[in-house]
Each structure stands twice: as C-alpha cells, then as structure tokens.
Amino acid sequence: MTLTFPHINPVAIQLGPVAIHWYGLTYLAAFALFMLLALRRLHHQPYASVQGPGAWSRRDVEDMLFLGVLGVVIGGRLGYCLFYKPVYYATHPLEIFFVWQGGMSFHGGMLGVIASQWWFARSRHKPFWQVMDFVAPCVPLGLAAGRIGNFINGELWGRAADAALPWAMIFPQSGTMVPRHPSQIYQFLLEGLLLFVLLWLYARKERREAQVSAVFLIGYGVLRFVAEYFREPDAHLQWLQQASGLSMGQWLCVPMILAGILLWTWAAARRPQPLAARP
C-alpha cells in the first residue's frame, strides 16, 4: 500500500496574528544543535590546547554562531536567486528581499558562512582553517533539521518511484498522485546523520589544518550528488536535467568535491604548524 504524505499544518503555533512555522523552528533547532556541538568541540584538539590570547572560549562559539546565522540567511537567499532563478530576480530585484516567499540555497548559505567565518578569524586573529575545521563537524545535524522542515512543508519531493517500494509516498502538492521517493528523508539521513557521524569521528583526532573542512566538502558533495538522483528537479530547471543528465544541485556539488580533494591534498602536503606557533 502506497503511503500518502500526511497533511501537516506548517504553522506550529498561532499566537493571535503571529504565526510560528515549523520550518522556522527547525532553523532554531539547527542553531541550538550547533551551539551544543561547538561547546563539545572546545574540548577537542587542537582547540583545548591553545593557550594565551588565542585560546578558544564560549564567547568565540557565540560570536561564530551569530555571524554564521547572518551568513546562512544572506548567503542562502542570494545563492538561491543567483543559482536557481537569476533571470527572474534580475527583472524583479526587489523580490530578493521577500524571504517570506521561500527560496534558500545550501550552496549559497555555505558561501555566506565561509565569508562570515573569514571575518571572525580575521577579527580574532585566528587561523582561518582552524576556524573552519572547528565549524565543519557542527553543521550536518543542522542540515538534518532543515530537511525535516522541508518534509513537514511537503516541498522538495522526490522523483517518481516504483509503487512497490515500501516507503514510496504520494505528495499531492506535486499536482499528481504518482508515488515518489521521500527525498527529504534521504537527504536527512545522508547529508545530515551519516555525514555528521563520519565527520565527527574523523575530527575527534587532531588533523592537519584544513583537512576536516576538506572532508566536509567531499562528504557533503558526494552524498548530495547521490541524493539528487532521487529528488525531483525544480520545474524551471528541468531543461538542465534533460540537457546534461545532471540537476543544478549536482552541478553545484561538482566544484565542492573537486575543491575538497584539492584542499585535502594541499593540507596533507603542508608542514604541520607547531601548536606553540598558533595564536
């Protein structure tokens, strides 16, 4: 028997004219998870051993989170407008600011976070890659929370699936009654839980600077690339899938994977920086 997407009210709490959406709550959950994991990360090496003015503290985590939130929101919105609907937003520039209409891009959000953490590293006189290696393992569970939000909203549904697939699901929002892959759950499991476990375990042992960041780029890129085979491309980007055989999400993952490989190789070839030399 084929499953049908359960109608879930996107509004979690209604307080008079104020509506609190589940999707917003998943963002809050993502930020809370980052805070929790980052505080644990302070006890990992090399962060626990850095002494003096460059020592890591809870204040650093709070400031990184604040800047990261700005990077996610601004970068995610601009990335969506640039990567997914450049022509539309070029002719409707004011709608770039209409964030309540939806439209966020992970890849844009990632670039926004990189920019925000570059600013943090520069202002705190910390090595940039040390900062990025700190952040990387704390991110995947937040991505998992976001995919739960996508599922609750009934958006980003999957491609058509064999009706015999036990977890195939009908998404009435798609405009058809065709059984589909619940791709939001696939991404929750792959880019969220699996990537978190792999990256957290990898980062528990001290690595050369930039290698943890490189593994994040490779891991997310590969897992998202795989998940995209089960996710229905956006209607206005179907032509790209038909012309190239790859979705926009997959094309955006290719440079991520290549950058991760090059970064890991570069980091492995560098001479390790003595701990005492770190700020």
The H or E element that residue 72 is part of is helix 58-83
Upstream peptide bond of 127 is cis (omega within 30 degrees of 0): no
Band of the pLDDT at 279, cuts 50, 70, 90? Answer: very low
Domain edges within the chain: 19-154+182-270
- Choose among 130, 138, 132, 92: nearest CA to 115: 132
How high is the mean pLDDT of the chain? 91
Instruction: Please compute the mean of the pLDDT values over residues 213-229 and round it to a whole number.
Output: 97
121, 131 Cβ separation under 8 angstroms? yes
Q: What percent of the chain has pLDDT over 90?
A: 65
Alpha-carbon distance 172 to 41, whole Å?
A: 42
Instruction: Give the integer Cα–Cα distance in Å for 79 and 103.
Output: 9
Give the pLDDT confidence of 170-191 residue by residue, as tens digits.
999 888 999 999 999 999 999 9
pLDDT at 59: 94
Residue ranges at the known binding site = 147
110: nearest Cα among 140, 149, 151, 150? 140
In the chain, the N- to C-terminal Cα span, in Å, equals 60
Tokens 């997310």, residue located: 220
* Segments in 84-127 forming alpha helices (H): 86-91, 106-124
- Phi and psi at residue 6, to the nearest 5°: -75, 135
Per the CB < 8 A criterion, the answer to whether 132 and 213 are in contact is yes
| Angle between helical axes of 22-41 and 128-135 (0-180°, round to 10) | 120
Q: Please, which pLDDT band fits residue 276 given cuts at 50, 70 and 90? A: very low
pLDDT of 16 > 90? The answer is no
* pLDDT tens track for 88-135: 889 888 888 877 667 888 889 999 999 999 999 999 999 999 999 999
In 92-237, alpha helices (H): 106-124, 128-135, 140-153, 183-187, 195-204, 211-227
CA geometry: angle at 12 spanning 232 and 110, to 5°? Answer: 50
